[in-house]
Chains A and B, each alone.
Chain A
Amino acid sequence: MITDVSTVSPMLERAVAGGEHRAPRPYDYALLLATFALMGLGVVMVYSSSAAIAETRFKDPAYFLTRHLIYLAGSVVSLIVGMSVCYKRYQQYVYWLLGGSIVLMMLVLVPGVGVTIGRSTRWFRVLWFTFQPSELVKVTFIMYLSYSLAKKSAEKIKTFSIGFLPHVLVCGIIVFLCLFQPDFGTSLILALMLFSLLFIAGTKVSYLVLAFFVAIPFVIRAITSSTMRYNRVLAFLDPWAMRWTHGFQTVASLTAVGSGHWTGLGLGNGRQKLGHIPTPQTDFIFPIIGEELGFFGVCLVIGLFALILWRGIAIAYRCKDEFGRYLAFGLTMLISAQALIHMGVAMNLLPTKGLTLPFVSFGGSSLMLSAFTVGVLLNISKYNENPIPSDLLTQIKQKDKKFRRPRKTKVTRKTESERSPA
């Protein structure tokens, strides 16, 4: 019998409730399966795509693989954390989370603190790994938006000053910080998340259209202010004309994907990863998949992401409370948007933009945050089956105030009425 839903974690719950009171496992296993499938593919593809350059650069073909496996272990932990922590708690601490990640974003910009790779300063050094706060801010921003939108009534959301402007301002602050790093990709993702969440929450479409047109000059300014971005847009428009200059990565990517045919050249047989394509283990892992696994491999990847989209949206759709619904929707959109942009860049449907493919690409922050995202979605899915008692938040609050672990006495305090029968 399930007696306690106020506990922090299901594991704890199980420990408290004893063996005979096992909760049914209501997690969305299809989502979990799709995630693990992509992660598994990621391990193989990271190794396949990085072995050659790792060998030449670090004299160790498994350089990226070993790190990827460590990150993967970390991401499994973060997935479990996401699964375990009741999503309502993010609602509780949403300003701390958002504020904290914004502070981290600012800290990166402090000279000497941030780590510069290439032309961008986006990372912290944590022990011997690097951490990218902009990955974190994507998630906390969605949490903030979900909270803020869930809090407001449908009428308020439709207003400009309460329902629209504050969210745009918060987004603007983060985007501003992002552009300092510079990190145009994250800015774009944040803007997309803002728009999609505002849209489903019921903001007037006219505001969104207006905001879109207001944003255009800024986007153009952002593109023209950087020669790299400008050249990338030019290369996007006609990569073959610039194949020896700025279009080289697009051309390499297109030819890689195109070489695949139905079944691809076979695992490990890719040629573009021999340095012809830049960062084949992160921003350009999709072309390697297309080259080595062919159209079937591409179908598999898109299919798995579509599965995640479907399960994520199903979780959002079924969620009983608004915060959870917005959160599940936002996180699903986050994964989908990143996947779409990554693949779109590889197939020259979008200008070159350094974004990882969630679950697959090499990169600790991206991998862990993506896994955490899925964990949160799974957590939400759990409560779709087991409704959250109305006083859960108060209970959590009380508990946190006491800074105490829940006791057996607390557990047994539950009344029968709060449990929902199937």
Chain B
Amino acid sequence: MISKQSIAPRERNRKKPAVITPEQNERAVRIRIVIAVGVIALLYAGWLSRAFQLQILDHARLLREAEANYLKSIVFDTRRGDLLDRNGVVLAKSISADTVIANPRLVKDRERTAKLLSEMLTLPLESLLSRLNSRRYYVYIKRQVTSIEARRVRRAKLPGIFIKQESKRYYPERDLASQILGIVGVDSKGLEGVELEFNAPLLGEVQRVKVIRDWRNKTSLTDETVSTERLSGRNVVLAIDAKIQRYVEQQLKEAVLNSRATSGMAVVLDPNSGELLAVANYPSFNPNSFTRFDRNWWRNRALTDVYEPGSTFKILTLAAALETKSVTLNDIIDTEGGRMRIGRYVIHDTHPSDRFSVLDCMKHSSNICMAKVADRIGKKAFFDFIKRFGVGSVPGTRFPGETAGMVLPLKKWGQIHLANIAFGQGIATSAVQLAQIVAVIANGGFLVKPVLAKRILDADGHVVQRLDGVQRKRVISETTAALVKRAMVAVMQPGGTGQELKFEYYDVAGKTGTSQKKNPDGPGYSEDLWIGSMTGFAPVDKPRIVVAVVIDEPLDKHYGSVVAGPAFRAITEWTLRYLGVPPTRQKPFSVVKLQKPERDRSYVPRVRPRPRVAPRRPLELIAQNGPADLSKVIVPDFGGLSMDSVRKLASRRGLDIEYVDHGFSTQQSIAPYTRVAKGSRIRVVFKLEDK
């Protein structure tokens, strides 16, 4: 090593003589170097402690701030699940559809763009212009356009106009079971039917993923994963069988059109499991374009609407009478020549007679007989039986708007009510409830819960939830059921009301029904509005299906066996054969083909609005074609509404109501659907129903 002194003095010596010796100077410089380095070293230490403060002490806060800046969460839309029939036939699925959107701020020539788009998509020019002139970044031009429209827009390559994919509900079977399936709005939200009830599982879970964004807000990285199986919603398997449903719908349509009825309903129920194999309504609609159809057609009337079951209800009356041992099948009842007076009212029989055995009562569907039988049961016991058979409580299919049926409270029952209810007037059930009542007879005395949806599956087909466990409770004894069954078999035999229906392969138990409808214009029953129905089950020995067919307001003939019978027969036999049930008859009857009536081709069925229910949507919709005049309102139809409903309806529209009397509304001073100034006074007359 070199010694320090060896060269330094030599070099210094060459410099001018100084007061400060070079050695002193060198030492001073070195001391100052150490001082300077000390300062720098202290700074480094300070920097390090600052790093410690930021990275260790303030770590949590700073990381939170950092993440608030660069993390964003992305929502993964799930594909709405499918609706399947019991065999896996897809009834509803989601497909992607093109939707035309615009970023008005990127649109170059608004006038020209609006003009082109209005031609390509057949949209009104003004609304397009106003949308393109908005200061937003995202407006819908037209949602879920056809592929032709989308191609036109793509080809035009208009700046600021984009096409994005949206999920659209598609019903491959078109109008099949449409009222069961329901409808889905443009935002993939169930609005009616099963789509509404199972909206949550169908939609599935929305997945949020935290992603790191860059400064242009573009997604860059993520450590989280998206579960692909959860990207699609759950599938719901329905109890209905698409093939049976299709056949039932066809037969129902035939029946409605042949009898020139307003509408019809048909239900096929498995009496043992309670599964609804078919629930049909006619007229039906195509849910792919539901907006084009009358709103009333969307209702699954077999589940949501009530009607007075008429003679088919006698099954329940008879069961109650036999169960309470009020009568036996062989008891002779005086039917008073087909005319019986109860107070102010007179009851008629279609097949007048002086006396009938109870069995014949069923066979000939005697009202007087049944009224007397009910009288023997007694009001209280009969009321309890009606309740036990499920009338007055919802069947439990989970269908939205499912009706419980209507039973007059026991304390309001007069003698006439007891008599009326005995033959199915003055009481209301849904078609499914009727099938449920018949099923009690068919399965030997059990009330089963009807099943509409069997199970919920995940995207891979694994069962997530079972909904189809048989829930049943005994309501009558097996013996009683067998006796009622005997009576129902008799109905189909010669002399019975169902004798004209020749069944080729199976023994069938049934009951016809012809009920009067309430007079829509006034009190009491209408003279010419009827409901023809037919219900029953087959095969008699080991019933597999319960069928109920209800034809509303047939125009020409109104007897249940005539208007509903052929459909009932066709449905029953076809379904049993489809199900592979061995025929009970070796040699088919020589079939007398029912002559197909001449059909009025111009006839268009219509569904009456649901009675006594306030319109679910504001009626202003009716006026949407006219110019909007906000000072005027449309007078709603108050007909049949309670005072409270009238008050609500009127206050929503800003109408003044003068209440006359009480009960349900019968008259209104200004006709429905007329336009009146807001605040107009309307006189509404109310009346109590039962007089």
Binding site for B on A (CB under 8 A): 52, 56, 153-155, 196, 199-202, 251-252, 254-262, 271-272, 274-276, 290, 294-295, 298-299, 302, 305-306, 309, 313, 316-317, 320-322, 325, 329, 333, 336, 340, 343-344, 347, 349, 384-385, 387, 390, 420, 422
Contacts and interface: CB of A to CB of B under 8 A. Distances in A.
B65 A251 contact: yes
Given A153-B16, A295-B55, 13 more contacts: A153-B15, A155-B19, A199-B32, A199-B36, A255-B63, A255-B66, A258-B55, A258-B58, A309-B41, A321-B11, A344-B47, A347-B50, A347-B51
A349 B8 contact: no
A387 B30 CA distance: 19
Contacts of B43: 340
Name A's interface SS.
helix
A387 B25 CA distance: 20
A271 B66 contact: yes
B28 A306 contact: no
Instruction: Specify which of A52, A200, A251, A272 lies most central, judged by the most chain B CB atoms within 10 Å of its CB.
Output: A200
A329 B33 contact: yes
Main secondary structure on chain B at its contact with chain A?
helix
Nearest to B12: A322
**Residue of B37, B52, B65 ringed by the most chain A CB atoms within 10 A:** B37
A349 B47 contact: yes
Interface residues of B, number: 52
A272 B70 contact: yes
A52 B70 CA distance: 14
Interface stretch (B196-204, B212-220, B509-517): B212-220
Contacts, number: 153
A305 B28 CA distance: 26
A202 to B, nearest CB: 6
Contacts of A384: 2
B51 A154 contact: no
Contacts of B46: 349
B40 A333 contact: yes
B44 A309 contact: yes
A389 to B, nearest CB: 9
Contacts of B65: 251, 255, 258
B106 interface: no
Contacts of B24: 154
A154 B18 contact: yes
5 contacts: A153-B15, A154-B18, A200-B32, A258-B61, A306-B44
Contacts of A275: 214-216
Contacts of A259: 59, 62-63, 66
B54 interface: yes
B55 A257 contact: yes
Contacts of A154: 18, 20, 24-25, 28
A329 B1 CA distance: 22
Nearest to B21: A154
Given A257-B55, A313-B33, A420 B47 contact: no
A309 B37 CA distance: 8
A295 B56 contact: yes
B29 interface: yes
Contact of B69 (A200, A276, A349, A387): A276
A155 B50 contact: no
A52 B220 contact: yes
A274 B16 CA distance: 62
Contact of A329 (B36, B62, B215): B36
A206 B62 CA distance: 43
A302 B25 contact: no
A271 B65 CA distance: 12
A274 B220 contact: yes
